[in-house]
Amino acid sequence: MKVLLLVIQLCLIENAFGEGKVIYEYKKYEKFDLGNLEVQGELIAPGDISVRERDRKKFNLDFFERKDFNSFVKQDIEAFR
């Protein structure tokens, strides 16, 4: 009985693989008549570059500039005792 079930299972697997096999064929030669092609709508030529300009990133960072020497004063007074 076990042997029979195994044979049936094997047959089913073989059938499953067999069904999915599709063969595609392409045309060997095809001609397009571009002159006869028609596009519906208004045809215009771009008058400007189509990429939008964007401002370049400018850092303009604030750099440290001394406005006082208070920490130096404190250090000097403490350096006496």
Partner 1 sequence: MKWMVFLALLGTSSVMAKPLHETYFEKKYYYSALNEFFFETYNKPITEKVVNKLEEILFFTGVEILEDYDEDLLLKYPSSSIRFIIGRKYYQRGHTKKALKYLENIHPKHRYFPEAKMVEAQVYFKMGDKSKEESAVTKCVKSASVLESEAANEKIARYYKMIEEVCLINAARNSFTRGEYNQALANYEKIPKTSYKWPYVLLEKAWVHYQLKDYNRALGLLSTYKSPLLDTYFFPEAEYLSALAYFRLCLYDDSLIILNEYYQSYRPRFAQLHKVLSRHKKSRTFFYDALVEEADGFNANEEFVKKIFTRIKKQIRFSLDSNTIYKLNKEINTIHAKESKEVQLELMPHLADVRENIKTKINYNAKKDIFDFLQTVPMYSAELFKLNLEIVSRKRDLVYKSSELAVDKKKRTRGEFANVKRSSTEHFWKFEGEFWADELGDYSLGLKSRCNEVKVEDK
Question: Footprint of partner 1 on this chain (CB under 8 A)?
Answer: 56-61, 63-70, 72-73, 75-81
User: What is the rounded CA–CA span in Å between residue 68 and residue 65?
Assistant: 9
Least distance (Å) from partner 1 to the CB of residue 51? 15
Q: Cβ closer to partner 1: 40 or 70?
A: 70
Least distance (Å) from partner 1 to the CB of residue 75? 8
User: What is the rounded CA–CA span in Å between residue 14 and residue 12?
Assistant: 5
User: What is the rounded CA–CA span in Å between residue 14 and residue 20?
Assistant: 11
Q: Cβ closer to partner 1: 15 or 60?
A: 60
